[in-house]
Amino acid sequence: MLRVCWAIGGEELATFSVRDVRHVHQPVKYLKTLLRERCSIPVSIQKLLHDGHPLNDSQLQWRDEPMELMLVLASCHGQQDQDRKLLEKLNGELSEYAVRHGNAEVVRRLLDAGADKDCPAFSSLHFAASETVLVLAAGLGHLGVVELLLERGALIDGRRRDGRTALSCSGLNRHVEVSRLLLQAGAHPDLFDSYGMTALHDAALEGHVETVDLLVEYGAELDLQTWNSHGTPLIEACRRGRVRSARSLLAARASHDLSDFGGKTALHHAAQEGHKKTVELLLQHGADTNWQSCCGSTALIEACRKPNGEETFGRRRERRVYSNDTPYDWSIEWLSDGDDDRTADFHLRPDREPMHERFWRGNIQAAKLLLEARARHDLSDSGGMTALHHAAQKGHVEVLTLLLQHGAATDFQSSNGRTPLIEACREGHVRAALLLLEARARQDLSDSGGMTALDHAAQQGHTEISELLSTTCPCLDEP
């Protein structure tokens, strides 16, 4: 039997079986670790004595009869060199064990022994040696440790390498109570990180509604724009389809008509990404449907521009799950706040429609909402292209039908003289070209280069469209 007692007073602290530590390479060090787990005494301040002599990590002679060790606690109050070495051990254990594991009692003992409350977190994780222990504890959600560090006067707005503060890290990881504690202690809610984002931007972007409400309650600036893209928290929420976050921001009177660096408003981004419920929410709050960005694009034009597969995947975080060793059989999960009709698992198989067509459904619904809200379909971008041009260029038959039903001009010519029919024929979209012909789009119009739709189809080698244009469409003969 191995007994550990306090050197002062002789009170028994813990007992261990010799068999538990006899075959360990460094038995004394291992014994100190066991004492930390049982009694919350930091390893770095433990000094074990046997027969009045201090023991190093591997120095322990086992005996058959019961043994008794005495424990003395060290602190940084001795010689300067010894204090410096001990301080390094204290700070290392504070960041590596106590804060990371959320052991508030060990943290308290380490701080009492002289550990630095603002020491960097020595770890290969979480931006090594670049964040304070308060930032680390806040990011991990250890409320008791954060409270203790704040009581000891830890730097509340200290940053890590990417510029994020303890408040930003707790908000990103949905630790609402930690964020509340930091705000009550005076944490600044509007500090920018190296990405130009504040805590409210991060919370809105990730859809953490409780954190958004908390930051608004404590006076976070609603319309603060990032220094790189000039995006507001509302724009970030709408771009990712965070309906509940957007609703909270709008209820707090966040401006829906502020634009980012490219001149795009929250409505532009919601329509571009096909977030139907977000578009509907913005329209209910009176968002301007005809605002034109720096390149002249409206929200309707953005909804009619379907990105290709690579662009779609690049703009959204996704989780793919492969099964059956089949390259076509996988699922993708949209990471939203659960209040958007796009939040679902989509499955792609060889006998099903292409994945990008499923992504495009949200854009059709967004376009329909905008047209019902009297968005102008005759506005053109800097290239002179209307929403009908973009839909024809991408071959979106559903949205073409929708625009034609609302009276979109079929023969409007862009800056280079191209009509929607020319755009459809150049790209080889047969169904789109047929739909425009049925809507009596003129085939004889030519672009600035003097080429008609038939010329472009022939030049690109689209035989089916060339044959379609060469014959008279039956609908043209109807009165």
Tokens of 220: 């976070």
Q: Minimum mean pLDDT among 104-108, 121-125, 299-303, 474-478: which range?
A: 474-478
pLDDT at 54 exceeding the cut of 90: no
How many H helices and E strands in the chain? 23, 8
What pLDDT score does 358 carry? Answer: 42
Nearest to 233 by CA among 252, 121, 218: 252
The whole-angstrom separation of Cα 471 and Cα 51 is 109
Contact indicator for 214, 313 with CB cutoff of 8 Å:
no
Among 56, 73, 90, the domain-final residue is 73
Is 342 a residue whose pLDDT tops 90? no
Last residue of one domain, picked from the residues 21, 41, 73: 73
Residues 11, 185: Cα–Cα separation, whole Å: 39
297 within domain boundaries: no
Kindly state the average pLDDT of the residues 179-199: 96
Residue 355 lies in a domain: no
SS3 223: coil
pLDDT at 272 over 70: yes
Beta strand 67-73 pairing with 53-54: unpaired
Q: Are 301 and 381 in contact (CB under 8 A)?
A: yes
Helix (H) or strand (E) run with residue 361 in it: helix 355-372
Q: Which residue has the higher pLDDT, 62 or 397?
A: 397
With bands split at pLDDT 50, 70 and 90, how would you rate the model's confidence at 305? confident
- Does the predicted model carry a pTM greater than 0.95? no
Range of the domain at 46: 2-73
* Residue in 248, 260, 334, 336 with CA at minimum distance from that of residue 297: 260
The whole-angstrom separation of Cα 47 and Cα 54 is 7
pLDDT, residue 81, reads 57
- Give the pLDDT score at 52: 84
Task: Report helix, strand or coil for 247.
Answer: helix
Indicate the residue type of 386. T
Q: What is the pLDDT of residue 115?
A: 92
pLDDT, tens digit (0-9, with 9 covering 90-100), for 140-183: 999 999 999 999 999 999 998 889 999 999 999 999 999 999 99
CA dihedral of residues 109, 112, 117, 122 (deg, nearest 10): -50
SS3 assignment, position 348:
strand
pLDDT beyond 70 at 394: yes
46: left (phi over 0), alpha (psi -120 to 50) or beta: beta
For the chain, what is the mean pLDDT? 84
Provide the pLDDT for residue 285. Answer: 97
User: Which pLDDT score is estimated for 61?
Assistant: 63
pLDDT value of position 230: 92
Residue keyed to tokens 């979480």: 126
Is 384 a domain residue?
A: no
In angstroms, rounded to a whole number, what is the distance separating the alpha carbons of residues 47 and 9? Answer: 16
Task: Look at residues 73, 98, 119 and tell me which one is the last residue of a structural domain.
Answer: 73
In percent, the amount of the chain with pLDDT more than 90 equals: 63
Q: What is the mean predicted confidence (pLDDT) over 450-472?
A: 90
Q: Is the pLDDT of residue 474 over 70?
A: no
- 90-127 residue pLDDT tens: 999 999 899 999 999 999 999 999 999 999 886 444 44
For residue 307, which of 429, 416, 186, 390 has the smallest C-alpha distance? 390
DSSP 166-216: HHHHHHHTT-HHHHHHHHHTT--TT---TTS--HHHHHHHHT-HHHHHHHH
Are residues 270 and 279 in contact, defined by beta-carbon separation less than 8 angstroms?
yes
The pLDDT score that the predictor gives to residue 122 is 60
Residue 436 located in a structural domain: yes
Q: Is 250 helix (H, G, I), strand (E, B) or coil?
A: helix
**Residue 304 identity (one-letter amino acid):** C
pLDDT higher at 421 or 318 = 421
What local confidence, expressed as pLDDT, does residue 56 receive? 82
User: Whose CA is closest to 224, among 261, 197, 188, 262?
Assistant: 197
Distance from C-alpha of 469 to C-alpha of 457, rounded to nearest angstrom: 9
Which pLDDT band, with edges at 50, 70 and 90, does 344 fall under?
Answer: very low
Sequence-ordered list of residues with C-beta below 8 angstroms from that of 258, at least 6 positions apart, any chain: 223, 225, 232, 234, 235, 265, 266
Q: Average pLDDT in the 332-352 region?
A: 40
Rounded CA gap, 169 and 157, in Å? 11
| Domain count across the chain | 2
Q: Which two tokens stand for residue 404?
A: 């034609």
- CA 314 to centroid of chain Cα atoms: 13
**pLDDT beyond 90 at 450:** yes
Residue spans of beta strands (DSSP E) within 295-355: 320-322, 330-333, 345-348
The mean pLDDT value for 71-93 works out to 79
Residue 369's identity, in one-letter code, is L
Query: Residue 457 belongs to a domain with what CATH number?
Result: 1.25.40.20
> Does residue 478 belong to any structural domain of this protein?
no
Residue 227 is predicted with a pLDDT of 84
Judged against a pLDDT cut of 90, whether residue 77 lies above it is answered with: no
| Stretch among 44-58, 315-329, 393-407 having the lowest mean pLDDT | 315-329
Separation CA 193–CA 415 (nearest Å): 42
CATH label of the domain that carries residue 50? 3.10.20.90
Contact status, residue 104 vs residue 148, Cβ threshold 8 Å? yes
Task: Express each pLDDT in 15-32 by its tens digit.
Answer: 888 776 767 778 888 889
CB atoms inside a 10 Å sphere around CB 381: 22
Quote the pLDDT of residue 128. 43
Residue 317 belongs to some domain of the structure: no
Let me know if residue 178 belongs to a domain.
no
The CA R_g of the chain, rounded to the nearest whole Å, is 33
* Mean pLDDT across 420-437: 95
Lowest mean pLDDT among 40-44, 319-323, 382-386, 427-431: 319-323
| Least confident segment among 1-5, 216-220, 241-245, 385-389 | 1-5
In a domain, 388, yes or no: no
